[in-house]
Structure 1
């Protein structure tokens, strides 16, 4: 405590000195670690976390040369002592591969920033596809959250991938359909400024579900222009987008905008999807003082859809239906989510700052699915209804301090926070054609609370960066089973604690080569219905993982990032919401390799590619029976973009998912696919147009694939075979926009 107070007071004294500040010209945020050359270029300093710097110039006049990756160089003339008490604003450069520093902490987000600039997105699915190594699948009519694949995990809808928007968790704990369910459809893609991501569990500020990795989508603070966009295309697809800059004062200290979109599509299936979605988003920002920043944002969305479901391969082979047909035409659902979020930043001194966030979500979900058809109920069929209704709220406060030591620089980062899910509806029902309730299989209410704290150091000494950290999570589970008449009125409760140490190293042999070794433990929480039924039994299954790799920048136009990784997991599966059963499958082990390539030989020509291999096995099962179903083995994504003439841009992107085991003994395998999309756009200062061609070569592919035991109406016995949702065929979408 004494050290904390003394260093904080010292920071206050420094803050009172006259000095220059460096800030971003767009959002007015301080720019840390900018290089300032002074004394006619013979000496230099770096800006602090608050953007300030001081220097000892013994003679005037002098010209400061200020540089930071991603910004235009500034030359600032100083003629007297009074010139020190000013603010210098840096303008963004169009981010190029040459501007990315391999040894900078923002390397990963800088890479995705380049990808976003070169190949913009216009759907929530496109956002997820921008994360290197992350693969997705949609299998329920467009409105259901995507299935996620990363580092040998079929992470279902988020069980082992932490998904966030502006730091607010998207994953839903103890969800009606799947643990960690992450529905990103409330995000308007044009509001996303950048994507922060990390693979593995090496990050002190990432907790629940951060085993395979995390993704954080960061929205714009301000708009440069208002915009209206109209889109339409195959399968009666329509989209209207409006983004309106409603406050942007001349000083740049405050700004506000709202965005709204409407989506509709029938889809390619025989049963019209009738996919409707409405999104609204608003954000207000203000620098209250030079050192105090405040932000408030709001979003809401509502969607409904029909789904063709997952169809058995044999039903298509036997001519019962075609690829675009369905066995149960009444599948589908509806969902909504409303979010409020506030952020506050206080810069205490050049070396100290506090960041605080508070958020609230109201969530509702209603899904009708039929995976087995007439396996259980020969008369009515096996359709189920899953409903979820809850209020979620949470907060986090983070303290950051820069400390200068004799042999380098230290950054201390500490934080505390909590999340509480107040679950008022969590049901699994057996229904007939949505309308008739046949049986309540599960019906519970409850609360789930996560208290967390973390602290770590980032020590830079010479060419080394060493980052030890520790995270502690405490969970409190309370559940009331409405179907258990003998249960106590207060229900049942349980608690669990997970301690997650992290230790990361990096070594920069030069500005263009950085080796790294990351190690750490992560975890995912288990469903409240499992926890209460099995108190003390793997409530918070942990992972242990390590990464070893190198970032190479051999010349300005090329970045290569090969990585080897390893991970073991204490327990593979959690509660299966579709059947109301527990399927723990024991310990597992994964290892693999990632390779990322970013190549920009010309300023107007850009190419990226990511290749991923993983080997996933249960370690307690017999050899040959130890395959982890649906774990991806080989995946690859990439794109090429060419800006030509004046305002024209042509881009093509691909995604490849190799064949993989669909069942533990590998007797059923999924089918590989390779799909290409094309985009041609024309952009002027005030308006533009684009043409998007999906599945350019009209390949026949299966998007979501499972090995499932099913029984059709006229079959005497059940059959376990491949069930799938057909991937979209060739389709065209056109759009025009106008800026004002």
Structure 2
């Protein structure tokens, strides 16, 4: 009988305990009724925790009546609620009030990705106000413009001269920005269709370590998210030197709610630029986005954007022409360069909580893209009569989708989160052209002309084992490519076709030593993405040369208002085939290795003053050439970026920011050097009242004479008998001031 009583009491206690330990569900919103992504939800009693999804949704295990939940997110006031019986009867709705960003509140263990959180702070304390600044938010990434403002920026990262996107994957809301097998070069990434004020978040990663990261992720990837709603309607007008005008309108077209939101935007820019020959640059951007939240767990978003741009350019100029007085720094040898481009995107995103442990994220997209560019890099080297101007042109349609499922599961020894994904991208490019032209009017010779089809299918899987102090994440990515090219200049109709598949493993480890110190080790195999014209020319050989990389370092908060990150890294590439769109030839560069150190620091001096800096030191070499003759041209060695930001102090916001690029080798033996530069920019805004803000922005405060982009090129001027090889450059922007007025309502 006593044994029966003991069994009964034990069963009763277990039943009570089970009934008390329940799941708690809810959603977290801001004061504008918009869901908050990445908020940390922590049960102080059971120590269970979770992060909110993009819909603001969360689920906490092992919760009971009387437990306390802490909910927090940087930039918002932390709140605590005590669970009652009613808390379990439905879904909680929690509102966080806005607050000044405070680095002291950053707890590394609460962040999904601490480095991305720090960049989010940079974005909030120093908002983006031009499309060129978008990529500069990524620590260690340097950009340069060298064709009148309408051409995609040149990118430098981790010892790579990435050109316009050959080794970095760039995406916006799941839409790939990189254009494969582009008329100007592989991976060409024109981000100018993004209105900077619509960016809500930047997510990035360096190296080939991420199973979910797409084609072109060699040096790294950058994913941008646009806002689902606007806090205010905004009208902005800016005017500055060189007849620079920018107008912006962003408007909510639906009353903001927890259920759905919609807004539209238009941006128009024009400028003559600082060059002696006017750039005649103008660009218009349009955006419309509708977001609906269904059942507090599902999200459907539809976005349409359109870009239309045209410009004239002065191109790169030879140093000897400036030294001789033939032209000044802002002159031109051929001022008929320039181009026009347009891009229309349509994107549907769907995010659904399938069950308490399963999340589906997906999007389907379509892009139509037109491109026409006129350049003259060698002047009269090949054609002493008409000059060497070239035209690059294409008409492109892009179709694709991405889908992934995240599942969580409690194992006996760890919490497990798995991510499984698949996707497709298909490019159809008509009349991809390289021609010899005269004055942008007459086509003298078709050098290349054809139609191109490229298909990329992929699948990936990763599993994150949360062991408490350790998080171990193995992953695997499968890539499949189909390349097809029809040469319109060939006598007979022939489809050149190749296909290739590759399997690329990854392994990442995070050790959380304490709330203020985290160590990470990343490793993985990626590949150097190749152009269709490279693949068919090589007859499918070495189509996906592998890239092997490792990263190691800490993220540390030695004191409450200081965050430091450091990384030692190494990357080896088996081959770097490059299709040179300007010449229509394939250039293999052989095996290469790069290694270096990244360092970042964020320090909050006061609630309103915020300092950040990022530095990189890199060594980039070819492994197949003799020592001293194995430099990789234009690979950055030393870079610094950073600044001091003022955030919401008595109506004032603004900052002073700098960027430094050290001298770089311009050729393989470092006998010619591309000179470095140090440039400082300044901006200050004053909020007169809740509706009106006045602003001033100055580029190149100290009027530094600097070269934004530089190339070692062999050219011949019209009055020269023999060609000369020397540095050619595009001059950097001189001191330039502009004022703005913003009306929010």
Give the alignment's TM-score, normalised by structure 1.
0.94
1:658 equivalent to 2:665? Answer no
Who is 1:646 aligned against?
Answer: 650
1:352 equivalent to 2:355? Answer no
| Aligned residue among 684, 697, 702 for 2:702 | 697
| Aligned residue among 31, 46, 49 for 1:46 | 49
Q: Distance in 2 between matches of 1:665 and 1:374?
A: 27
Show CA shifts across 1:359-384 (max 9, x none). 00000000000000000001000000
> Where do residues 340-489 of structure 1 align in structure 2 (5 Å cutoff)?
340-488=346-494
Q: Distance in 2 between matches of 1:315 and 1:328?
A: 12
Who is 2:13 aligned against?
Answer: none
What is the DSSP-based 3-state SS (H/G/I as helix, E as strand, rest coil) of the residue aligned with 2:588?
coil
Who is 1:185 aligned against?
Answer: 192
Moved more, 23-32 or 638-647: 23-32
Q: CA deviation at 1:610?
A: 0.4
Who is 1:563 aligned against?
Answer: 567
Q: CA deviation at 1:694?
A: 0.7
Q: CA deviation at 1:408?
A: 2.0
Contact 2:38–2:112, Cα closer than 8 Å, also in 1: no
Structure 1 alignment gaps of length 5 or more: 1-13
1:237 equivalent to 2:244? Answer yes
| Aligned residue among 636, 643, 668 for 2:640 | 636
Q: CA deviation at 1:525?
A: 2.1
Q: CA deviation at 1:665?
A: 1.5
Q: CA deviation at 1:345?
A: 1.1
Q: Distance in 2 between matches of 1:706 and 1:162?
A: 24
| Aligned residue among 117, 120, 127 for 2:127 | 120
Contact 2:183–2:434, Cα closer than 8 Å, also in 1: yes
1:269 equivalent to 2:275? Answer yes
Who is 1:547 aligned against?
Answer: 551
What is the DSSP-based 3-state SS (H/G/I as helix, E as strand, rest coil) of the residue aligned with 1:133?
coil
Who is 2:166 aligned against?
Answer: 159
Show CA shifts across 1:595-645 (max 9, x none). 000000211110000010110011001222111110000111001013475
Q: CA deviation at 1:483?
A: 0.4
1:712 equivalent to 2:717? Answer yes
1:728 equivalent to 2:736? Answer no
Structure 2 alignment gaps of length 5 or more: 1-18
What is the DSSP-based 3-state SS (H/G/I as helix, E as strand, rest coil) of the residue aligned with 2:253?
strand
Q: CA deviation at 1:469?
A: 0.1
Q: Distance in 1 between matches of 2:649 and 2:118?
A: 26
Q: CA deviation at 1:482?
A: 0.3
> Where do residues 119-158 of structure 1 align in structure 2 (5 Å cutoff)?
119-158=126-165
Q: Distance in 2 between matches of 1:547 and 1:80?
A: 48
Give the alignment's TM-score, normalised by structure 2.
0.93
Who is 2:15 aligned against?
Answer: none
1:522 equivalent to 2:529? Answer no
Show CA shifts across 1:283-317 (max 9, x none). 10001223321110010010000111000000100
Q: Distance in 2 between matches of 1:124 and 1:487?
A: 42
Q: Distance in 1 between matches of 2:461 and 2:88?
A: 39
What is the DSSP-based 3-state SS (H/G/I as helix, E as strand, rest coil) of the residue aligned with 2:134?
helix
Q: Distance in 1 between matches of 2:87 and 2:621?
A: 67
Who is 2:329 aligned against?
Answer: 323
| Aligned residue among 604, 611, 617 for 1:613 | 617
Flag the 1:32–1:468 CA change in 2: closer, same or farther, 3 A: farther
Q: Distance in 1 between matches of 2:170 and 2:503?
A: 21
Contact 1:65–1:73, Cα closer than 8 Å, also in 2: no
What is the DSSP-based 3-state SS (H/G/I as helix, E as strand, rest coil) of the residue aligned with 1:536?
coil
1:507 equivalent to 2:511? Answer yes
| Aligned residue among 685, 692, 696 for 1:687 | 692
Contact 1:32–1:51, Cα closer than 8 Å, also in 2: no
Flag the 1:459–1:440 CA change in 2: closer, same or farther, 3 A: same
Q: Distance in 1 between matches of 2:288 and 2:654?
A: 32
Q: Distance in 1 between matches of 2:103 and 2:526?
A: 32
Q: Distance in 1 between matches of 2:537 and 2:648?
A: 62
Q: CA deviation at 1:231?
A: 0.2
Show CA shifts across 1:307-348 (max 9, x none). 110000001001111001000010000000000000111101
| Aligned residue among 286, 289, 304 for 2:292 | 286
Q: Distance in 2 between matches of 1:238 and 1:32?
A: 39
Who is 1:576 aligned against?
Answer: 580
Q: CA deviation at 1:689?
A: 1.2
1:67 equivalent to 2:71? Answer yes
Moved more, 284-293 or 203-212: 284-293
Q: Distance in 2 between matches of 1:82 and 1:623?
A: 69
Moved more, 281-290 or 26-35: 26-35
Contact 2:193–2:306, Cα closer than 8 Å, also in 1: yes
Who is 1:603 aligned against?
Answer: 607
Contact 2:350–2:362, Cα closer than 8 Å, also in 1: yes
Who is 1:6 aligned against?
Answer: none
What is the DSSP-based 3-state SS (H/G/I as helix, E as strand, rest coil) of the residue aligned with 1:447?
strand
| Aligned residue among 101, 109, 112 for 1:105 | 112
Who is 1:8 aligned against?
Answer: none
Q: CA deviation at 1:649?
A: 2.5
Contact 2:108–2:517, Cα closer than 8 Å, also in 1: yes
Q: Distance in 2 between matches of 1:378 and 1:86?
A: 76
What is the DSSP-based 3-state SS (H/G/I as helix, E as strand, rest coil) of the residue aligned with 2:188?
coil
Q: CA RMSD in A?
A: 1.7
Moved more, 723-732 or 87-96: 87-96
Q: Distance in 1 between matches of 2:617 and 2:671?
A: 21
Q: CA deviation at 1:77?
A: 4.7
Q: Distance in 2 between matches of 1:333 and 1:411?
A: 48
Q: Distance in 2 between matches of 1:427 and 1:364?
A: 12
